Amino acid sequence: MASPRVLILRAPGSNCDKETEFAFQKAGVSTQSIHIIELRKNPMALRDFQILVIPGGFTYGDDVAAGKILANQLASFLGQELRSFRDREKLILGICNGFQVLLKAGLILQPDEEGPLATLAHNTSGRFEARWVNLSVTPGKCPFLKNMDRLLVPVAHGEGRFVTRTPWIQDGLEKSGQVVLRFINEKGELDGFPCNPNGSQGNVAGLCDPSGRVLGLMPHPERHLLPTQHPRWTREGLKPHGEGFALFQNAVEYFK
Amino acid sequence: MIWEIEIKARGIDLEKGRVNRDFHLFRPGQGAIDPVTSSTRGFLIEGNINQDEAKKLSDQLLTDPVVETGRVSASGSAIQENGAPCLGTVLLNPGVMDPAALSILAAAKDLGIPLDAVRSFRRYFGPPCSQEDKTLLFRKVLANEAIEMVVEGPVREDHLSRGKPYTFHKLEVKLLELADNDLNQLSRDMTLSLNLEEMRTIQGHYQKLGRNPADVELETIAQTWSEHCSHKTLKGRIDFQGKQYGNLLKETIFEATRSLRQSMGKDDWCVSVFEDNAGVIRFDERHHLCFKVETHNRPSAIEPYAGANTGIGGVIRDPLGTGLGAKPVCNTDVFCFAPLDTPPESLPEGILHPVKIMTGVVSGVRDYGNRIGIPTINGAVSFHERYLGNPLVFCGTAGLIPVDKAFKKPLAGDLIVVVGGRTGRDGIHGATFSSAELHTESEKISGGAVQIGNAIEEKKVVDAILKARDEGLYNAITDCGAGGFSSAVGEMGEHLGARVDLDKAPLKYDGLSYTEIWISESQERMILAVTEEKWARLHEVCAGEGAEAAVLGVFEKTGRLQLFFQGNQVANLDLEFLHNGRPNQIRSASWSPPAEASASPILPLQEDLGETLRKLLAAPNIRSKEWIIRQYDHEVQGGSVIKPLVGVKDDGPSDASVVNPCLDSFKGFAVGCGLLPDYGDLDPYAMAACSIDEAVRNVVAVGGNPERLAILDNFCWGNTDRPEVLGSLVLAAEACKEFALAYRTPFISGKDSLKNEFHSSGKNIVIPPTLLISAMALVEDIRECVTMDLKQAGNRLFLLGRPQKHLGGSQYSRLHGMKGSRVPRPDPKEAIAIHRSLHQAIRLGLVRSCHDVSEGGIAVTLAEMAFSGELGADITGLIQAGEMPDPVLFFGESPACYVLEVESDKSSQLTGKLAGLPLWEIGEVRREKRLRLAGVNGEWKIWAQLDQLKKAWQEPLLK
């Protein structure tokens, strides 16, 4: 297959859909933006696509909890289609609110009989926090992050603190290589606030499912595609691309 | 059946921390005792459901089991938490919109559990406390009376507010026979905010018609004639010490723009100014750019969170309602508060503490801007004692509009369509309320004037409108702001006429009268004029985004505004009288400069200037605003090129922000502002001139083009019925005209807010004259932009601009409590040459960093550049720039001044480029992390380590 088709799934309150579309277009593929109202009417439409992206935003105002209402809709009305999408070697990406949605819909970590294994809770600071962060990347099986090592990208969220129900769940995720993105300081070490802007357990910034093909992350790679988006480009000079661009290129390359 | 689902967080109880902090703010000295030991939140849900279904809702929707526990109980049961009794449950007042409720109703339906009603609550637990503490908790800490209530004990059924059906009966106001006293009384009783002459004019009009007005007619006239909607003071007649103005705005600010546009001829880059909801200028071949800045002062004084929330929500609808609709691309926010260390016991009755106001306002802007996905990229905060009763909240939005969508025209026969939120009882009388002064009781009686925003509702509207715009589905659009349907339909139909069936408006709940529907200021609504054939498609587009749309009536060429309810005519107004019938009064204005404005300042005899620099950096007006900026998403949409925080650690103060609104192009625009309230009392003319210069400097410093630079005005003044208050406004407006002309920077939009005074027990607090100038300048190529942080040791430092010997209104004067001294004024000819030449130098790549000289003077400018770039500087050449005492040279706030960093081998090119301008090489960038400034006698007068300067500057805003 030469060129994958990308579906950007919108819902009331999605607000990073345009720059996410731009990211894929810059990587050379076309995108289509579909509203959840429409997709619920026709779940089979999913089959026309190879990459599904849930962009950042505040779906349904994050009323109840961030991403929860859209997550419930995905689980209730699209669960079957989504699972078969994933199982057909396709890719699913959730950025920020999209990560919250994927996690709460159980698409990254399958809930067990006691319920969900993990969640994204209010930041330790109790505040929304917008800042640029350094990430260490351990790609493992995750095609989105192939050959990547470090990443400078912004975060902007109030509910991004990764918490597992019990410590053994966190240990298991570390062992299985699902913790693919971690907040680090400039020296490359795990560190506390502000390097870990939300207080995530184990400095988790992004997580993939056991197959590696479903990735959720709190930071915004689609906000660092262009060299002029770098926070210090006037000091360090303009680079060929922003650091987040590789993630989208990788997603497209995966199908080549 | 009503169920209560109560949710408790495991681990940190953030809400408990917040309320205890607020409590101690009002009870300093009782530090140790926290009245609240825990808090919960939850929902009252009503519907024909059993406990299992309620439990399912709790488990699958409302509670996050990893971090929370949920408890389901029948409403009305006793409440207790770990032995601590419940202090109270906080619910929204009846009629106040609960944004979460709508989402939950829909989400519950998705789970197969249909509900009739949902209401959110917060609940607090703690040991029994004194009556006095309880009153404080209930009235000031746990809830805000303007929108919320505290219920002690179990929550009852009637706390789930739902309206009762409304039975129509038409109300007439007996006006014809009233004497003057009674007319005044009527104006007050109905919150019409009309004066006697206006009331008499209305009476005369109805006497001619031989009938009394319907209540809704009188309300419509009051809305249309309000200061808020008609700007009758600034557009009215003024006698300024013998000089006559027929229309102050038209003869000063509009005149400057008119004259500039005329002189530009076919190169005129203004597209639409002062006629639409926002000013529009050219951007590139595909798009125009529009910008509007609004004030939302009164609501923010009473309910800071909701006031600021709807302030930003309202101004976003301005670009959306400009032309045929602009896409909002960035927001700005500027606040004026009383000092945060104001002793709580000194607060007059009815005033909220500035800490409470600031935290509420900041989170209000945050929650709306972030949720709707518009980056907040520029702002300012100013502190002054006289903002105690009237804090100021300015919110701005810029938008991008396709070149062929810049104009609108409703046609006769077009349907009047409302898109967006439903109409409720919130925000009744906002326009007339905001035209009056605040007083002790405002907090209680004007609750109806305060609304809560719902950012996601507005996001749906934006998405639907932009799609409909591109499909060409409507002929005109405007937003419902102050005055609600009354203003929106009245203005759009001004040259046609309109017939509206008020019972067609979608309502939040039953019980609204026809008048309430007509004047309600419920948020998130737009009015469109739609050709009948296109209605079906418009409805479909809106439904696709989950936005509601309904036909209210039709525009007809009758010249009349006709309102109906269930087929009964309730208003029949002559539009000519409505829009042009207001009597034009002459207001007198005068000004005599205070003696201190020309006095010579007496400088402190002994002063450690390094210590002064540290104190200035820590002064609230100068100190870092990072605490606020970090709460705003300034990166969403991906267009942020120069960010509000810059430098090695991303924490230095940028002069302005640059936005790249089309990611496939290198074109951008810079946004900045100027605000100098400390100058206003001494010299309002100089204040306006310096504010314009500051706004221009800020955008030029990052790479904005001063020849494609548009400005906006926001006048916030005291009660202009007093001649001396109006006089200072006239002078400021004259300065605006002169400097806009001199700088060739047209005003494109503006908004004023007058009568910012607070009365309480014989005291009258009047705000300082406050003029916010917002600037927007095009950036031809964003890759040429510069930031303010020092870049490289060995580079040369230059001062561009001429220091003046005046300290009037400066932060240095404020620090030392010094009265007197003149306020500096820019020399317009030299200033424009400086701004323009600097821009050329930046475009040629000659400037490595650039920071303007503003509050705190050159020393503060240098300190900020140094610690942001983590590089030191030795300044030995300042004395060439002017003979004056060291403190005046270091800390004076002269307009049209910049500090530039230039690579050594480009120095001669720069001096060549800026030849003929006041330019001095003043020093060098050093690797050593310290700042040294030599004084007149050649000795180091300031010798400071950068980490100490930065520590002072980063002193937290909130302790």
- For residue A30, the SS3 value is coil
A230 is catalytic: no
Whether residue A15 and residue B636 make contact (CB cut-off 8 A), yes or no, is yes
Q: In chain B, which residues have their Cβ closer than 8 Å to the Cβ of A38?
A: 544
Q: In chain A, which residues have their Cβ closer than 8 Å to the Cβ of B787?
A: 234-235
Q: In chain A, which residues have their Cβ closer than 8 Å to the Cβ of B667?
A: none
Can you tell me the mean pLDDT for A188-217? 97
Nearest to A132 among B373, B650, B849 (CB): B650
Q: In chain B, which residues have their Cβ closer than 8 Å to the Cβ of A163?
A: 66-67
pLDDT for B160: 67
CA distance B709 to B706: 5
Residue B163, pLDDT above cutoff 80: no
Q: In chain B, which residues have their Cβ closer than 8 Å to the Cβ of A223?
A: 635-636, 638
Residue B113, pLDDT above cutoff 60: yes
Question: What is the predicted ipTM?
Answer: 0.96
Provide the token pair at B294: 């609004």
Triad B534, B535, B539: Cα angle to 5° = 120
CA distance B865 to B608: 21
Q: What is the average pLDDT score of chain B?
A: 92
B789 touches chain A (CB under 8 A): yes
- pLDDT confidence tier of residue B508, bands split at 50, 70 and 90: confident
Q: Dihedral through CA B261, CA B264, CA B266, CA B269, nearest 10? A: -60
pLDDT tens per residue, range B310-327: 999 999 999 999 999 999
pLDDT for B32: 63
What's the alpha-carbon Rg for chain A, to the nearest Å?
17
Q: Cis link prior to B339 (omega < 30° from 0)?
A: no
CA distance B586 to B248: 11
Residue B444, pLDDT above cutoff 80: no
B660 touches chain A (CB under 8 A): yes
Can you tell me the mean pLDDT for B492-521? 92
- pLDDT confidence tier of residue B447, bands split at 50, 70 and 90: very low
CA distance B98 to B92: 7
pLDDT for B193: 86
* Residue B62 C-alpha, separation from nearest chain A C-alpha, in angstroms: 6
Provide the token pair at B823: 């306020």
Can you tell me the mean pLDDT for B473-482? 94
CA distance B857 to B897: 9
- For residue B73, the SS3 value is strand
Residue in A35, A15, A19 with CA at minimum distance from that of residue A27: A19
pLDDT for B303: 86
- pLDDT confidence tier of residue B98, bands split at 50, 70 and 90: confident
- The 3-state secondary structure of B869-920 reads HCCEEEECCHHHHCCCCHHHHHHCCCCCCEEEEECHHHHHHHHHHCCCCCEE
Q: Which CATH number fits domain A6-253: 3.30.70.890, 3.10.105.10, 3.40.50.880, 3.40.50.2000?
A: 3.40.50.880
Of A157, A222, A224, A243, catalytic: A222
pTM above 0.90, yes or no: yes
Of chain B residues 261-320, which have a CB less than 8 A from chain A? none
B648 touches chain A (CB under 8 A): yes
pLDDT tens per residue, range B805-860: 999 999 999 999 987 789 999 999 999 999 999 999 999 999 999 999 999 999 99
CA distance A118 to A113: 13
pLDDT for B866: 98
CA distance A15 to A34: 13
**SS3 helix, strand, coil % of chain B, rounded to 5?**
35, 25, 40
CB A242 within 8 A of CB A172: no
Q: In chain B, which residues have their Cβ closer than 8 Å to the Cβ of A126?
A: 12, 14, 17-18
Whether residue A122 and residue B103 make contact (CB cut-off 8 A), yes or no, is no
pLDDT tens per residue, range B894-911: 999 999 999 999 999 999
A64, A69, A134, best to mutate vs chain B, most B CBs in 10 Å: A64
CA distance B862 to B934: 13
Pairing, β B68-74 against β B38-46: unpaired
Nearest to A61 among B66, B456, B642 (CB): B456
A73 touches chain B (CB under 8 A): yes
- For residue B630, the SS3 value is coil
Lowest mean pLDDT among B155-169, B183-197, B535-549: B155-169
Of chain B residues 548-577, which have a CB less than 8 A from chain A? none
CA distance B848 to B924: 13
Whether residue A121 and residue B66 make contact (CB cut-off 8 A), yes or no, is yes
pLDDT tens per residue, range B195-254: 999 999 999 999 999 999 999 999 999 989 988 788 888 899 999 999 999 999 999 999
Nearest to A156 among B100, B635, B786 (CB): B635
Residue A15, pLDDT above cutoff 80: yes
Provide the token pair at B43: 């929902």
* Residue B20 C-alpha, separation from nearest chain A C-alpha, in angstroms: 15
Provide the token pair at B28: 């300093």
Helix (H) or strand (E) holding B379: strand B376-383
Q: In chain A, which residues have their Cβ closer than 8 Å to the Cβ of B851?
A: none
pLDDT for A224: 98
CB B183 within 8 A of CB B199: yes
Q: In chain A, which residues have their Cβ closer than 8 Å to the Cβ of B664?
A: 22
Of chain A residues 98-127, which have a CB less than 8 A from chain B? 115-119, 121-122, 124, 126-127
Give domain limits for chain A. Answer: 6-253
Whether residue B64 and residue A119 make contact (CB cut-off 8 A), yes or no, is yes
Pairing, β B657-659 against β B668-675: antiparallel
Provide the token pair at B668: 């951008």
Can you tell me the mean pLDDT for B772-795? 98
Q: In chain A, which residues have their Cβ closer than 8 Å to the Cβ of B638?
A: 18-19, 22, 222-223, 225-226, 229
Whether residue A12 and residue B459 make contact (CB cut-off 8 A), yes or no, is yes
Q: What ranges in B557-621 are assigned the alpha helix state H?
A: 575-580, 609-618
A243 touches chain B (CB under 8 A): no
- Partnered with residue B899 across adjacent β-strands are B799, B851
Percentage of chain B exceeding pLDDT 70: 96
- pLDDT confidence tier of residue B97, bands split at 50, 70 and 90: confident
Whether residue A163 and residue B66 make contact (CB cut-off 8 A), yes or no, is yes
Whether residue A130 and residue B631 make contact (CB cut-off 8 A), yes or no, is yes
Nearest to B650 among A19, A131, A225 (CB): A131
pLDDT tens per residue, range A115-159: 999 999 999 999 999 999 999 999 999 999 999 999 999 999 999
| CA dihedral sign, ordered B397, B308, B717, B580 | positive
pLDDT tens per residue, range B28-51: 665 568 899 999 999 999 999 999
pLDDT for B443: 43
pLDDT for B217: 95
pLDDT tens per residue, range A65-83: 999 999 999 999 999 999 9
pLDDT for B161: 58
A159 is catalytic: no
CB A250 within 8 A of CB A51: no
A220 is catalytic: yes
B60 touches chain A (CB under 8 A): yes
- For residue B321, the SS3 value is coil
pLDDT for B434: 55
Sheet containing strand B392-402, strands side by side: B270-272, B279-282, B287-295, B392-402, B327-337, B376-383
- Partnered with residue B174 across adjacent β-strands are none
The conformation of residue B155, written as its DSSP 8-state character, comes to P
* Residue A232 C-alpha, separation from nearest chain B C-alpha, in angstroms: 7
Q: In chain A, which residues have their Cβ closer than 8 Å to the Cβ of B544?
A: 35, 37-38
- pLDDT confidence tier of residue B481, bands split at 50, 70 and 90: confident
A225 touches chain B (CB under 8 A): yes
Of A16, A21, A96, A157, catalytic: A96
Q: CA-CA distances (angstroms) from residue B720 to B223, B388, B661, B682, B754?
A: 20, 19, 40, 17, 7
Size of interface A-B (CB pairs under 8 A): 171
Residue A239: count of CB within 10 angstroms of its CB: 12
CB B712 within 8 A of CB B290: no
Whether residue A235 and residue B650 make contact (CB cut-off 8 A), yes or no, is no
- The 3-state secondary structure of B523-570 reads CCEEEEEECHHHHHHHHHHHHHCCCCEEEEEEECCCCEEEEEECCEEE
Can you tell me the mean pLDDT for A200-223? 98
- pLDDT confidence tier of residue B729, bands split at 50, 70 and 90: very high
A235 touches chain B (CB under 8 A): yes
Residue B796, pLDDT above cutoff 80: yes
Closest CA in chain A for residue B666: A228
